[in-house]
Amino acid sequence: MVNVDPKLTWKILEDAIREIYNQNISDLSFEELYRNAYNMILQRFGDKLYSGLVTTLAKHIREVSELIEAAQGDLFLEVLKRKWEDHNKALEMIQGILMYMDRTFIPSTHRAPVYQLGLNLWRDNIIHSSQIQTRLLKTLLDLVQRERTGEVIARGGMKNAIMMYVDLGSSVYQDYFEKPFLEVSADFYSVESQQFIESCECGNYLERADRRLDEEMERASKYLATMTKAKIINVVEKEMVANPLQRLVDKGLVKMVVDDKYEDLRRMYSLFGQVSEGLPMIRDVMGCHVRETGKQLVSDPERLKDPMDFVQCLSDKKDKYDKIISLAFNNDKTFQNALNSSFEYFMNLNARTPEFISLFVDCKLRKGLDGISEEDLEIFYDKVLMLFRYVQEKDVFEKYYKQHLAKRLLSGKSISEDAERSLIVKLKTECGYQFTSKLEGMFTDLNTSKDTTQGFYASQTAAKAGESPMLSVQVLTTGFWPTQPRTSCILPAEILELCGRFQAYYLGAHTGRRLTWQMNMGTADLKVTFGNGKKHELNVSSYEMCILMLFNDADRLSYKEIEEATKLPTSDLKRCLQSLACVKGKIVLRKEPMSKDIGVGDTFFFNDKFTCKSYKVKIGTVVT
């Protein structure tokens, strides 16, 4: 071991450190310098080496501090950046020279390692300098302010200064930059929020808030510490979203919903989702809006005059809100549940809603969907079922649906049996077998009736074509079909005879059964030749058939004579006569005196001059 002179050895090292800081290191032998430092530690001169290092570094850094303080304007950050980079490079070299001291002497004395010592001295002499500290913070915050107001700033010096804080330690960064940065940011966004919320639409405000969040995230990624990103985002969310939350909802939510502002609503959902009470507030306000508008709809006297319009409005309203939830609220299940609850509330305020939904289906399926694709039909069914689910009195719907289905099937006005069965299958899936068992029984009766009619005619002696009327009978099982009032009428002789033969055939094939004729539910096709030789086929009700066939044997009949010959109930008789004699374009009978109403003193004549462009003419029964 070579004895060393500590004063001389330190002088060599001290000069080397100064040279390193002056960046004039070409003549230095790092191996020799390392050996000198090594020998000082071995000969127990570590304290002198360390204290000398502290003195030398501190002196140099104080000189640097004066240079930084003297820098003016934009040069301030530039000088700071350059001196900080020089300091770090110098520390790396010095650390290499004093590596042995770092590994052996410093751990045993609990002192700061060489590199950390250099950082601490920079902190104490540069960052703690009253002039530099205040000026640096003001410069950085001013740059942020300018950038927030639209100016383009030089981010390089900004980033270097902020990363310098980070390198000096998280507490230094937080105390000397992050904390005041967040405080200033909160003040800035608080003022901006108040200004914007007063001066612009809610949608524009949300767009501005969204853009501010993007800007802060981008700013954080470019020159702030990673730890600050979440904090500054929280500041913006608090000042621009959380604090004015109620005002934003009151100012714009309902209007955006009414106007279908999907993008604005999507932005509101996204922004409010970052605040704990945000989404529940949107959900509650929207739910109240749906309830109130729905309540107005179901209680509007004008709407109630048209069941089709009533249900269509319900369907359109549901489509509207479903679309909002899909496009703007990310199909949020809690929003969908709130919507369902609101619809169930207001739809059941009107006791006629089940009836109107059934009428809506009846209108669409009564040849109303001709040419519609199977896919579109499924969409229609799904919309109907969605409304049906909200109805609490499902047995009321079943009653009306049963009546309407019966009329469609018996009058042959349904678009198709497959279409009818498809909806019933969906109702069965929704409500169970018991709900649809009677409806399915109707189809069974119709199919059985076809076989029965074919069997009846197969059992009869063939008649010459045109000499005997054709009878098509629907044998309906009591309990499956809606109960109809028992009515009586006197059938034309040829019809009565044919009905008798069918009854004998049916009861002979089915012992113990009983048939009750419901003539008020039947229809007839009559081939009629008018006075001008023009022939038409009239589709009429069974009651109207009974009236018209009287004129095969008479040209003129009074009301009393028709009443006596048919035994029709007074209300039914008057409606049938009004349909035959008072409907413009379909006047098969003329009456005297001419009027829109039927009186017991009226007289009726067969209209020989009846004309119509169509061969087949449907004579409906007027509703009084």
Residue with tokens 């499924």: 378
State the average pLDDT over residues 157-163.
Answer: 91
Give the type of residue at 621.
T
Burial of 242 (0-12, 13-18, 19+ CB in 10 A): middle
149: helix, coil or strand? coil
Report d(CA 41, CA 35) in Å as an integer: 10
Q: List pLDDT tens digits, range 545-573.
A: 999 999 998 889 999 999 999 999 998 99
* 4 pLDDT higher than 60: no
* 26 pLDDT higher than 60: no
Q: List pLDDT tens digits, range 443-456.
A: 888 888 888 888 88
State the average pLDDT over residues 248-255.
Answer: 91
* 6 pLDDT higher than 80: no
For the chain, helix, strand, coil in percent to 5 are 70, 5, 25
Q: What count of other Cβ atoms lies within 10 Å of the Cβ of residue 84?
A: 20
Q: Where are the domains of the chain?
A: 6-111, 131-241, 251-332, 351-459+471-477, 520-618
Q: What homologous superfamily is domain 251-332 in, according to CATH?
A: Cullin Repeats (1.20.1310.10)
User: In CATH, what number does 131-241 get?
Assistant: 1.20.1310.10
* 10 pLDDT higher than 80: no
Report d(CA 98, CA 102) in Å as an integer: 6
- Helix axis angle for 394-411 and 417-431, nearest 10°, is 160
* 42 pLDDT higher than 70: yes
Q: In which band, very low, low, confident or very high, does the pLDDT at 624 lie, cut at 50, 70 and 90?
A: low
Contact 619, 538 (CB under 8 A): yes
Report d(CA 293, CA 253) in Å as an integer: 15
pLDDT of amino acid 23: 66
Q: In which band, very low, low, confident or very high, does the pLDDT at 597 lie, cut at 50, 70 and 90?
A: confident
> H or E segment at 288?
helix 278-298
Class of domain 520-618: alpha beta
Percent of the chain with pLDDT over 70: 96
pLDDT of amino acid 436: 86
- How would you list the strands of the sheet with 603-606, edge to edge? 556-558, 603-606, 589-592
Report d(CA 70, CA 63) in Å as an integer: 11
Q: List pLDDT tens digits, range 311-327.
A: 999 999 999 999 999 99
pLDDT of amino acid 465: 40
Tokens (6 digits) for 390:
């909200």
Percent of the chain with pLDDT over 90: 47
* 487 pLDDT higher than 80: no
Residue partners of 219: CB distance under 8 A and separation at least 6: 144, 147, 232
Q: In which band, very low, low, confident or very high, does the pLDDT at 534 lie, cut at 50, 70 and 90?
A: confident
- How would you list the strands of the sheet with 535-541, edge to edge? 523-529, 535-541, 616-618
Q: What homologous superfamily is domain 6-111 in, according to CATH?
A: Cullin Repeats (1.20.1310.10)
Q: In which band, very low, low, confident or very high, does the pLDDT at 232 lie, cut at 50, 70 and 90?
A: very high
Nearest to 386 by CA among 415, 420, 360, 419: 360
Report d(CA 249, CA 237) in Å as an integer: 15
Q: List pLDDT tens digits, range 60-85.
A: 899 899 999 999 888 999 999 999 99
Judged by average pLDDT, the poorest of 111-115, 173-177, 470-474 is 470-474
Judged by average pLDDT, the poorest of 110-114, 242-246, 506-510 is 506-510
Give me the residues paired with residue 173 across strands: none
Q: List pLDDT tens digits, range 172-228.
A: 999 999 999 999 999 999 999 999 988 889 999 999 999 999 999 999 999 999 999
Q: List pLDDT tens digits, range 141-159.
A: 999 999 999 999 888 888 9
Contact 387, 357 (CB under 8 A): yes
The CATH fold of domain 351-459+471-477: 5 helical Cullin repeat like (1.20.1310)
pLDDT of amino acid 1: 47
pLDDT of amino acid 115: 92
Q: In which band, very low, low, confident or very high, does the pLDDT at 464 lie, cut at 50, 70 and 90?
A: very low
* 486 pLDDT higher than 80: no
131-241 and 351-459+471-477 have identical folds = yes
* 90 pLDDT higher than 90: no
Contact 227, 170 (CB under 8 A): yes
Mean pLDDT of the chain: 88
Q: What count of other Cβ atoms lies within 10 Å of the Cβ of residue 90?
A: 21
* 462 pLDDT higher than 60: no
pLDDT of amino acid 21: 75
- For CA atoms 8, 13, 18, 22, give the dihedral sign: positive
Residue with tokens 């009653």: 399
Q: In which band, very low, low, confident or very high, does the pLDDT at 461 lie, cut at 50, 70 and 90?
A: low
pTM of the predicted protein model: 0.77
